Structure 1
Amino acid sequence: MSILRPFLSRVVRRGRLTVVDPDGGVEHFGEPAPGFPQVAVRFTTRRAMRRVILDPRLGAAEAFMDGEMVLTDGDIMALIGLLRLNTPWDRGVELRDKTWLGRRIEGVRTRLGSINRRRRARANVHHHYDIGNDLYRLFLDADLQYSCAYWPRAGLTLDEAQAAKKAHIAAKLALKPGQRVLDIGCGWGGMAITLAKLEQVEVLGITLSDEQLALARQRAAAAGVADRVRFELIDYRDLAAREPGRFDRIVSVGMFEHVGAPNYETFFRACANLLSADGVMLLHTIGRFGGPGATDAFTRKYIFPGGYIPALSETLAASEKSRMIVTDVETLRLHYALTLRQWYARTLAHEAEIAQMMGERFFRMWTFYLAGATSAFESGGMGNYQIQFARSRHALPLTRGYMAAAEAAYRDTV
């Protein structure tokens, strides 16, 4: 009996997992079931098996990255999906791979690691976003939207779904000509450029990534909107001190996950200070179903150092301190899962280029990241929230009809 049996026999009940140890011993876990994958894994070293026992998520990731855990039937998406499908969050079953004390320690590490003062925030962004624009071009859509797309109907391409996301968000901003818009965490500039094309507004996009900044400026010039769209390398906290009350609208897509729970009140206080008296804000963020949690060790170490996925309760409680009125909340339950499966497929299709550019170990790390994220949105406790805020209760129409009307008009333009 291998050292993995106690853990795997408890987790894998449906679907079939075959494990081959370094000596050729074979064990089977679970029973074949419709909708559950069949996966076979071979360990090349006993060290890799011990890694998994000591920390199932980080250990499995590093064993896979180092080539000591090899998928011989199925891929890493199938393996992680099998484990998640057997422990669905919706049914109150979670993959408890740590003791109560271990989870408490992870929570403390997450909080300490996500304090994210200015220098640390810049370093964290550099870790993930300044690894090369060429990598992102290989698996993202043409507009380089690195956040959850929006799927109003089945059968859309990734580019169509990302365009639908931008129209969906723009409609919630209730834009009017002449307004000044701030895009916090502007990425490669796609959202800012789109808003300027949809309406005669001025947009300032801010980022902490040198690579994103350079490309965003190039794209604004190429799109012919550089006179109304600017980009700047600046922390949102510093901008709030410099330009209070300047902006009529704020949009932030996929950035709040990097703020860190200890800084939520600071973030919303900055946003409130940046907005005009009748300003409106749209926050698009990954969110945690249920209560607060912790960032797993793999994500902290390799993917998003300093990152934390907030529970809706944490987000709203922090916004209330700055008297930001929550005017609308939408939960996107499966949209990111659909997006991530597209990114994963594109990553696999460009394996040779990515491995040559970044190395084989990086490629395996990246596929583990995308596969783990996909399973979290399909079976785990993750979703997306779009939260609309206003400084004044009179800033928006009384009913939500304006959103649908604007979205229909924008959809053909984006």
Structure 2
Amino acid sequence: MLLVRLLAAAMGDETLDLVTADGKRHRIGSGPPKLTIRLHDRAIERELIVNPRLKFGEAFMDGRMTIEGGTIYDLLAMVMSGAEVQGALGRMAESVAPLLRRLQQYNPMRRSRHNVEHHYNLSKELYQLFLDRDMQYSCAYFPTPGISLDDAQEAKKRHIAAKLLLEPGVRVLDIGCGWGGMALYLARHTGARVTGITLSSEQLAVAQGRARDAGLEDLVTFELRDYREFAAANRGAFDRIVSVGMFEHVGVPHYRDYFNAVRDMLHEDGVALIHSIGRLDGPGSTNAWMRKYIFPGGYSPALSEVLPVIEKSGLLTTDVEVLRLHYAETLRHWRQRFDARRDEVRALYDERFCRMWDFYLAGSELAFRLQGHMVFQVQVARSLNAVPLTRDYMLDAERELAAKAGSVPAPPRSMCAAESAAE
């Protein structure tokens, strides 16, 4: 059976049982099986051979494939740690994926808004079930082992703020401001004047309400705007620009427009910090299931795709930091929290939605643990003199912000400790 042979090639030293729709049990590997995959119709057997990247997730979320003796995380860990499961037609589809990237990532303003609404206009009640108290929906930062998700997300905001050289009155733009947590943090702890822009009406309403409740409306404003149209009316208007978890939605064909917009909106001595998911192993393509169901138009780039565009824009790269396993730890927290509140998620949506998000959270975590995904923070400026000569100012600012907030300061070897905790 071809499907059995394909799975066997992927499993390496692992063992599982596959039960096909006709009731036949196939042992894949040697030794006792760790779990059993059960297929519930004949059609899914063919679909998994032809297009496994899409159909594997669809079969699970639709209940046409179920797992016995384990979870979808367990199964994905077995498959993703081995060779790629790819049929002949699947390999053909992957070979042309780079040619299709420009179409898949073509994100003009109207399409960008639709793509953002697909994911971020889900109810805020859903995200409140599994995110931290500040609703940070991006990679947390773990400066010490064992800290909570709330503390790690606070550390992320502090880490980013330290790279922005902030002081009272500095004009900051937050591109892709989410539910407003970063903008509110910067205003509250540094006195900066922050404008946040988003394409999600749901996020905008929450962010504006949070600013009112915090009494920060004089320092923070939020708008429903695309970065491209916003840039045209705000040349040189900002001393600092920050973008966290938004660049993944830009698309390679639009990178030049994006960095040109950042350049145009920055003051001559301005500084920007871009925080994004990336790839350690070079350019690739977005998983077909993820692109269809979770992040249409999304793509996580390699630094080799980003830095040349920055150079051509006239911006100067002043600092680069790679966070390897911090997002894996973040996603572990989200996955566990989601599972603990599953009944409440089901009440908001349905069981199919729960299985879809099981697959999304498990697959995303394992992409960081096993398949070369990471997070990068690139600091850029318009002037060579915009930031100090050494990185010491970042640690000093981080410690000062932690002291003001009553948090435990990061130890001198913070990055090493964080990586050790995640690994």
User: Which residues of structure 1 form unaligned runs of 5+?
Assistant: 88-93
| 1:242 maps onto 2:233 in alignment | yes
Deviation (angstroms), 1:25: 1.6
Q: Distance in 2 between matches of 1:347 and 1:10?
A: 32
* In 1: Cα distance, 2:7 partner to 2:155 partner: 41
Q: Which amino acid aligns with 1:69?
A: M
Query: Which SS does the other structure have where 1:38 is aligned?
Result: coil
Work out whether residues 50 and 90 of structure 2, in 8 Å CA contact, stay in contact via their aligned partners in 1: no
Deviation of residue 109 (structure 1)? 2.8
Residue 83 (structure 1) aligned with residue 79 (structure 2): yes
Q: Do the aligned residues in 2 keep the contact of 1:3 with 1:49 (CA within 8 Å)?
A: no
Change (3 A) 1:382 1:95: farther
Cα deviations across residues 339-368 of structure 1 (Å, max 9, x unaligned)?
A: 111111111111111112111111111110
1:125: which partner in 2?
116
Deviations 1:39-95 (A, max 9, x none): 2211111222222111112111111111111111110111111111224xxxxxx56
Distance 1:49 1:76 in 2: 18
**Structure 2 match to 1:300:** 291
Query: Contact between 2:178 and 2:207, CA under 8 Å: does it hold in 1?
Result: yes
Contact preservation (8 Å) 1:136, 1:144 = yes
Which amino acid is the alignment partner of residue 82 of structure 2? Answer: N
SS at match of 2:282: coil
Q: Could you say what secondary structure the match of 1:278 adopts?
A: strand
Query: Helix, strand or coil: the match of 2:35?
Result: strand
Name the counterpart of 1:167.
158
What residue is the counterpart of 1:316 in the other structure? 307
1:217 maps to which of 208, 211, 217: 208
Contact 2:19–2:25 under 8 Å retained in 1: yes
Partner of 2:17: 18
Corresponding position: 1:233 with 2:224: yes
Write the letter of the residue equivalent to 2:55.
G
State the 1:308 CA deviation.
Answer: 1.0
Amino acid of the residue matched to residue 26 of structure 2?
E
Q: How does 1:138-287 map to 2 (within 5 A)?
A: 138-287=129-278
Q: Helix, strand or coil: the match of 2:305?
A: helix
What is residue 6 of structure 1 aligned with on the other side?
Answer: 5
Query: CA 1:167/1:331 → structure 2, altered by over 3 Å: closer, same or farther?
Result: same
Partner of 1:90: none
Counting aligned pairs with the same residue, the percent is 50
Answer with 283-292 or 203-212: which moved more.
Answer: 283-292
Per-residue Cα deviation, 1:80-123 (whole angstroms, up to 9, x for no partner) = 11111224xxxxxx565666542232223332021100000000
C-alpha distance in structure 1 between counterparts of 2:248 and 2:86, whole Å: 23
Aligned to 1:43: 39
2:61 partner amino acid: M
2:313 alignment partner, SS class: coil
Q: Aligned pair 1:102/2:93, yes or no?
A: yes
Cα distance, 1:145 vs. partner?
0.4
Q: Deviations over 1:114-153 (max 9, x none)?
A: 1100000000001010011111111111100000000111
Contact 1:107–1:295 (CA under 8 A) maintained in structure 2 = no
Match of 1:68 in 2: 64
Are 1:334 and 1:377, in contact at CA under 8 Å, matched by a contact in 2? yes
Once residues 99 and 365 of structure 1 are traced to their aligned partners in structure 2, the CA distance between those partners, rounded to angstroms, is 22
1:379 aligns with 2:370: yes
Unaligned ranges ≥5, structure 2: 408-423
By how many angstroms is 1:239 displaced? 1.0
Q: Give the RMSD, CA atoms, in angstroms.
A: 1.6
Q: Secondary structure at the match of 2:387?
A: coil
State yes or no: 1:360 paired with 2:355: no
Shift of 1:32: 6.0
Shift of 1:220: 0.9
* Deviation by residue 1:378-400 (Cα, 9 ceiling, x = unmatched): 00021100111111000111100
* TM-score scaled by length of structure 1: 0.94
Three-state SS of the structure 1 residue aligned to 2:195 is strand
Choose 359-368 or 185-194, whichever is displaced more. Answer: 359-368
Output one character per residue of 1:5-56: Cα deviation in whole Å (capped at 9) or x when no partner: 12111110122222111232222223469xxx92221111122222211111
Q: What is the DSSP-based 3-state SS (H/G/I as helix, E as strand, rest coil) of the residue aligned with 1:392?
A: coil
Deviations 1:271-322 (A, max 9, x none): 0000000000110000011221111211111011111111101111111111
Runs of 4+ in 1 over 4 A off after TM superposition: 94-100
